[in-house]
Structure 1
């Protein structure tokens, strides 16, 4: 089952639990708009190269559509559609005034120079600038993109519409970005995990963690969990996996990964087969890599649309159209409030609909979007 089919299945299960009208259900599932554009750029060697870009705008019932733009060679319409739909439910679970969208370009960013990436980003922005906007659709960084990418989008968009810093989030701080944004998704994972453990009378300290993925989310989650007293015993990335039953030195691992473009060769633990990571004995497993979450009978799963909502929540703080910037302590405190409240709301849906955490999250998100849709005047 591909990502779109899996996401749609979860939506339909939630819709059934909620007893949604069949016409409303169909309306919520169909994207508002799907965009596909060709982006042709001159390479540094003078040759021309073409890449396909996508932007799927799924729903705007609760506010401007919101979602990242990823640069990855596996970007395709089904993946972008699935991620756009997930953003709709994620922003609703977080209870921030956004809808859902997602975008991407099918490319391998590691094979492109900085100047080629800039040209590609600007051409993509030229193709979609009239379909995004402060009150319409607000992009953000994702896999293969970063704050510099957002700065290029902001600059290119502003050539057509005037200076518009709120058209993207995840910007450099010098251009109105939020303090704490880089760590936000990983910190959100920490806060959501704390809320889940607290339900069982436990805390982060003393728990054994295994983390799949050591990119932005995984590395920040590992660092923050370690600082909170958790023991991260195994980590993997695309280059390999490492294990230390006594706990990995995360600061040294981050330094090694930065200098060697991956964790392979780290001498602070034993190299293991990355495929075995998901079966390592631990208290908490955090899949922070590409698609798919562990699903196994008897394993309590914190749903992804709650666990990884920290990034979009801090994006909402950054989106502040008045341009007022919070200090980092306030950003982190407010993020904890939102993540903890989100977990509490999901648990309430679990109780009222007799379902697990994942379906509780989907039911919460779908219900909020459905209510907003009806309140705005939808008619069967």
Structure 2
């Protein structure tokens, strides 16, 4: 099957997230014996937009930033996916993330396609007013392709509730009425959903609990290492700690923190919030982030960014279960080694789907103008994550493939069916 975006698999760059995603897609499509015509459609994004964003800085001069929005697929519903701000954002990265969103939404069976956006900038070097001007101009540039029935953005790396509020307000000013369903991840007061902030971490808790049941692991005997202490890793570690798991390692951008007897996660995170580092925390020893990934544990939870487990370190990974909290933390080239070592991988398109699931709940609540209690949100999230985990596990056992391949096969099968039933408008 020829591929317009990926060279021969032997030549692809391991650290290119789009090429890693496409190699997994190709493998799943081959195992499904996917119709070549449907394959040609699903392997390509539907739309890519590059925009140049003139933004006035606080000293009065203008900078022009580059922004992207990629809409991968609309077969199951509007595109859905976050907007990230980072100096290393690339079109290939946004393409990969948009495609991952298509498969992620299909795995948990919610009626969305995949989308993703990004701006090449360093938000840590920008003031709040500069970020607001940047966000509003970016929103205005992509205005024609987003909307509650078209494409629904959300927070991602270095964006948050405030950024979503600016996007919503800018869109609403052009629409001449309030449109709170245009984004998710908003403040609760502006139509956000209760439980949304914790949703990705809570979803990780649910799938880890299911994996531990499969291997008869008791929480108090299960050592967990978490890479990342932000909205995903920090909340995930906290919820796992509260559920009785032994979290022995956690990291922030500079250091890892390790205690073989288990860390006091609430105290460690309180120290991090106060001091912006784990340095000086007396409940564990400082290690490097590389050392953290290689700790002996039952569950490794990379919840930071892409390309953390590669051919350079995969042989030293010592976990029994790898649960991908981040998008694309494991390269495709490292997958073969993990399978040979017998590591049970809960892939990103399943593991971290709690966030998009509750984003879907938020969108539903916005559209009907009625809002749910947090307990109800969490209960429905648990139902979705547990049933999706078991769907993928059953698919893996039926087709005798690993969990990642099963998740891709299940997702592609669902999207291909709807694409075929709808037909191709020509």
Q: Same fold (TM over 0.5)?
A: yes
Question: How far apart in 2 are the matches of 1:220 and 1:186?
Answer: 5
The aligned counterpart of 2:65 is 51
Shift of 1:169: 0.3
Contact 1:54–1:77 (8 Å) recurs in 2: yes
Task: Indicate conservation of the 8 Å contact 2:75/2:415, yes or no.
Answer: yes
Which one is further off, 253-262 or 213-222?
253-262
Give yes or no for the alignment of 1:298 onto 2:342: yes
Partner of 1:367: 413
Distance of 1:357 and 1:148 partners within structure 2? 36
Whether 1:67 aligns to 2:81 is yes
Q: Which secondary structure does the structure 1 equivalent of 2:368 belong to?
A: coil
- Structure 2 distance, partners of 1:206, 1:27, is 47
2:221 maps to 1:177 = no
Q: Deviations over 1:14-38 (max 9, x none)?
A: 1111111112101001101001001
Deviation, 1:247, is: 1.1
Q: Which residue of 1 aligns with 2:54?
A: 40
Q: Post-superposition shift, 1:379?
A: 8.2
Residues 86-128 of structure 1 deviation map (CA, whole Å, 9 limit, x = unaligned): 0000000010000000001011111111111111000000100
**Aligned equivalent of 1:139:** 153
Q: What's the secondary structure of 2:381's corresponding residue?
A: helix
For 1:54 and 1:263, the matched residues in 2 are separated by 35
State how far apart, in whole Å, the 1-side matches of 2:140 and 2:277 are: 34
Normalised TM-score (structure 2): 0.87
Q: Which residue of 1 aligns with 2:163?
A: 149
Instruction: Summarize the alignment of residues 80-229 of structure 1 with structure 2, pairs less than 5 Å apart.
Output: 80-161=94-175, 162-229=177-244
Q: Residue 200 of structure 1: CA displacement? A: 1.8
Moved more, 290-299 or 121-130: 290-299
User: Residue 382 of structure 2: which of 330, 336, 359 is its match?
Assistant: 336
When structure 1 is superposed on structure 2, of 242-251 and 144-153 the one drifting more is 242-251
> What does residue 255 of structure 1 align with?
270
Contact 2:249 2:256 in 1 (8 A): yes
- How many Å separate the matches in 1 of 2:120 and 2:189? 29
Alpha-carbon distance, 1:267 to partner: 2.5
Gaps of 5+ in 1: none
Q: Which residue of 1 aligns with 2:41?
A: 27
Could you tell me whether the CA contact under 8 Å between 1:243 and 1:269 is conserved in 2?
yes
Could you tell me which runs of 5 or more consecutive residues in structure 2 were left unpaired when the two chains were aligned: 1-13, 308-328
Identify which of 203, 223, 230 aligns with 2:245: 230
Quote the offset at 1:57 in angstroms.
0.3
Q: 2 CA distance for matches of 1:263 and 1:71? A: 25
- What do residues 237-295 of structure 1 show as CA deviations (whole Å, max 9, x unaligned)? 21211101111111111111112223344232101121111110111000001113354
Higher mean C-alpha deviation, range 43-52 or range 58-67: 43-52
- After TM superposition, the structure 1 stretch with the greater mean CA deviation from structure 2, 343-352 or 224-233, is 343-352
SS at match of 1:5: helix
Which runs of at least 4 in structure 1 moved beyond 4 Å after TM superposition? none
Moved more, 291-300 or 221-230: 291-300
Q: Which moved more, 1:121-130 or 1:345-354?
A: 345-354
Partner residue of 1:285 out of 281, 300, 308: 300
Number of residues of Structure 1 aligned to a counterpart in Structure 2 = 380
- SS of match in other structure, 1:216: coil
State whether residues 278 and 286 of structure 2, in contact with CA within 8 Å, keep that contact through their aligned partners in structure 1.
no
1:270 aligned onto 2:285: yes
Asked if structure 2 preserves the Cα contact closer than 8 Å seen for 1:239 and 1:264, the reply is: no
TM-fit CA distance, 1:45: 1.2
- Tell me the SS of whatever aligns to 1:125: helix
Counterpart secondary structure, 2:142: helix
Shift of residue 301, structure 1, vs aligned partner: 0.9
